[in-house]
Structure 1
Amino acid sequence: MNDPRIDRLAGVLLDHSCRLKPGENILIEAIDLPDPALVCALVEGAAARGGVPLVTCKQQAVLRSLYRNATKEGMLLAGEFERARMAKMDAYIGVRGAANASQLSDVPAERMDLYQKHWWHAVHSEVRVPKTKWVVLRYPTDSFAQAANMSTAAFEDFYFDVCTADYAAMGEAQKPLVARMEAADRVRIVAPGTELEFSIKGIPVIPCNGERNIPDGEVFTAPVRDSVNGVIRFNTQSRYQGTVFSDIMFEFKDGKIVNATSSDTTRINQILDSDAGARYIGEWSMGTNNRVRHPMLDTLFDEKIGGSFHLTPGNAYDIADNGNDSVVHWDLVLIQRPDYGGGEIWFDGELLRKDGRFVPKDLQGLNEGL
């Protein structure tokens, strides 16, 4: 029996996220899915809409072996192959499950860097992100539910509810915030262990409401590259390249991370030394999805948390470009609701958000359900 929740999600991905049109090529990439139901629904739905679906299925255990034995030649070959395929696509849906979210934790850093530079960056940063209509999402698994401290059944209900939200209504509620961010120059952020300032003047502002990530709910831009100064201490854990980091602290001077510590200070500095752009910030974004309340070690959910923001060492998106280029793009989340220590965000001397709630009257719609 078909699960109607899967059919509804497939419809959101094809119609709202990818806006698939007859004759368009769409790549569906599935990694570690426990069953093929969603992939089948996407293939059938794409074909019914006149699209041309292509599917690739991968397993993290196999990818781990590839990464652990990576050579520059091998990663260049894989990147060249997948780049050529991606260049023929009009749309892309990436669905990722994970029986073991730490599957890549023992891949040596230098091998992971080869993958990031010659495979992932060449395919996704240079082709998929700027040139296709794309959306990425996770798939509910037992390990995912465990990370959220929920039963599998309860997590599935939560997952499908959040992922099939009314994204059109979300987009309307975000419009006043977009206008304020476009008009702002100086941003000041205060939270426990955090006192940070930067400019966003002249950088495009992008509302996200289901067209790139599922679930969605954020409005992002980027700091002027050399304008970031101060200290930030993130209060959520983050998994990056298979390693879980906590107690992350950055100190900035003229845009550059000049001091970085965490639960694994050696590894975090290796990541930040990947290239010249990794110690600069490529994105700053405010979370606006109030159905997502607590972190679950998954960036696609955690970065949307109501009352949060994320700051991203590394590559800037072309659509909100501050000139920073890097193979790294690492979204790190700070929640400012009272249950996470509170905090404030100021635009040009005006208090915009306090303890996770927007203060100005025109932004009250973003507080619903918080």
Structure 2
Amino acid sequence: MTDPRIQRLAEVLLDHSCELKAGEHVLIEGFDLDDPSLICALVEGAAERGALPVAELKSMRVQRSVFRSATEASMKLCGDIELARMQQMQAYIGVRGAANSSELADVPHDRMDLYQEHWLRKVNDHRVPKTKWVVLRWPNDAFAQAASMSTEAFEDFYFDVCTADYAAMREAQKPLVARMEATDRVRLVAPGTDLEFSIKDIPVIPCSGERNIPDGEVFTAPVRDSINGVIQYNTSSRYQGAVFSDIRFTFKDGKIVEATSNDTPRLNAILDSDEGARYCGEWAVGVNNRVRHPMLDTLFDEKIGGSFHLTPGQAYEEADNGNRSRIHWDLVLIQREDYGGGEMWFDGELIRKDGRFLPDDLQGLNEGL
């Protein structure tokens, strides 16, 4: 018998996130799943709605071997095949487990560059703007451990967060969207951080369960050459299989001119992937107050209530500042008092202090803090 929480999550993904219609093609991919129950529920649910599901399970251990043995020709071939399949889809659901979140840690950087350029970016440049897509993680022992929770407690937390009332979230985000659309200058202050930039005339996009599960952010992009100052991120981040902590950037006219971390050489190698990697393609405000603490998982960490993320690399087409890169690395700074506090200013007005919004029209975003 299927866990009713799995059935409810499948309904959210099919009906809210993808708005799946009869006749549409949907690709359902699972990565490192020890339990395929959600994939089965999605396939059956898609068929019940008259859609045409295509399902596949992948192994990151196998992917590691593919990446470690990669050549430019092999990555182009894989990218072409994956792109041809994606071009036949109207919707995409990616469910990602992680038996070992560091599985790709020993893949040489130049091989990951080949994957990013000739496979991942090629497919995503079609999938992101041209399909109704959603991605999410799947709870397992390793994920619970990263969250410092028991497996049972983490599963309860996971299903509660992932099946939130996204319609109510969308309504609560509207005043913040309006304020960001009217803003030119943003200033961010926190321990080790004093940063300013413009978001003038860049579109502002609310996120409430359409593309990520869980969700809860409002994103835009900084004007590409407008960022100046210093940022000291206070959460760790797993990227390309390695964990980075104590990341600190100095910006001058939009460019990261100095970057340090627990692994400064590897950090700078990523930022030297291409010209756009040292510029930022996204700035977003996290507003999901059910997610409180980082767990080395971007899909959760970037939504943390009282946080923001500033992202080196590729801009999204919906909020485009013109930056192009093979990387897109969401790095999170939490401004709540229990993480050192901080301030967010829009055109000289203090909008958020220590993670709490101050204006009356934004009080709905403080619920649960």
2:74 partner SS: helix
Q: Alpha-carbon deviation of 1:56?
A: 1.6
CA distance in 2, matches of 1:367, 1:334: 18
1:295 partner SS: coil
Q: 1:20-64 CA deviation, whole Å, 9 max, x = no partner?
A: 011000000110011110000000000000110001210010000
Residue 297 in 1 paired to residue 300 in 2?
no
CA distance in 2, matches of 1:333, 1:235: 7
1:33 partner SS: coil
Q: 1:112-163 CA deviation, whole Å, 9 max, x = no partner?
A: 1111111000001x11101100000000010000000000000000000000
In structure 2, the partner of 1:359 is: 358
1:51-70 to 2 correspondence within 5 Å? 51-70=51-70
CA distance in 1, matches of 2:214, 2:334: 18
CA distance in 1, matches of 2:93, 2:2: 21
1:234-313 to 2 correspondence within 5 Å? 234-313=233-312
In structure 1, the partner of 2:6 is: 6
When normalised by structure 1's length, the TM-score is: 0.99
CA distance in 2, matches of 1:326, 1:50: 38
What amino acid is the match of 1:96? Answer: R
Residue 28 in 1 paired to residue 42 in 2?
no
What amino acid is the match of 1:338? Answer: E
What amino acid is the match of 2:81? Answer: F
What amino acid is the match of 1:366? Answer: L
1:315 partner SS: coil
CA distance in 2, matches of 1:149, 1:198: 35
What amino acid is the match of 1:220? Answer: F
What amino acid is the match of 1:306? Answer: G
In structure 2, the partner of 1:84 is: 84
Structure 2, unpaired ranges of 5+: none
Q: 1:279-303 CA deviation, whole Å, 9 max, x = no partner?
A: 0000000000000000000000000
In structure 2, the partner of 1:317 is: 316
Q: Alpha-carbon deviation of 1:207?
A: 0.1
In structure 1, the partner of 2:120 is: 120
CA distance in 2, matches of 1:229, 1:135: 33
What amino acid is the match of 1:299? Answer: T
CA distance in 1, matches of 2:139, 2:252: 40
CA distance in 2, matches of 1:97, 1:79: 22
2:275 partner SS: coil
What amino acid is the match of 1:87? Answer: Q
2:277 partner SS: coil
In structure 1, the partner of 2:329 is: 330
RMSD (Å) for aligned C-alpha atoms: 0.4
Segments ≥4 residues shifted beyond 3 Å = none
2:170 partner SS: helix
Residue 176 in 1 paired to residue 175 in 2?
yes
1:179-218 to 2 correspondence within 5 Å? 179-218=178-217
1:110 partner SS: helix
Residue 154 in 1 paired to residue 153 in 2?
yes
2:278 partner SS: coil
1:202 partner SS: coil
Q: Alpha-carbon deviation of 1:228?
A: 0.3
In structure 2, the partner of 1:341 is: 340
1:277 partner SS: helix
Q: Alpha-carbon deviation of 1:325?
A: 0.6
1:278 partner SS: helix
In structure 2, the partner of 1:137 is: 136
What amino acid is the match of 1:280? Answer: Y
2:174 partner SS: helix
In structure 2, the partner of 1:37 is: 37
1:68-107 to 2 correspondence within 5 Å? 68-107=68-107
Q: Alpha-carbon deviation of 1:2?
A: 1.0
Q: 1:178-223 CA deviation, whole Å, 9 max, x = no partner?
A: 0000000000000000000000000000000000000000000000
CA distance in 2, matches of 1:177, 1:81: 41
1:136 partner SS: strand
State the aligned residue count: 369
1:187 partner SS: strand
CA distance in 1, matches of 2:273, 2:87: 26
Fraction of identical pairs, as percent: 76
1:244 partner SS: strand
What amino acid is the match of 1:241? Answer: Q
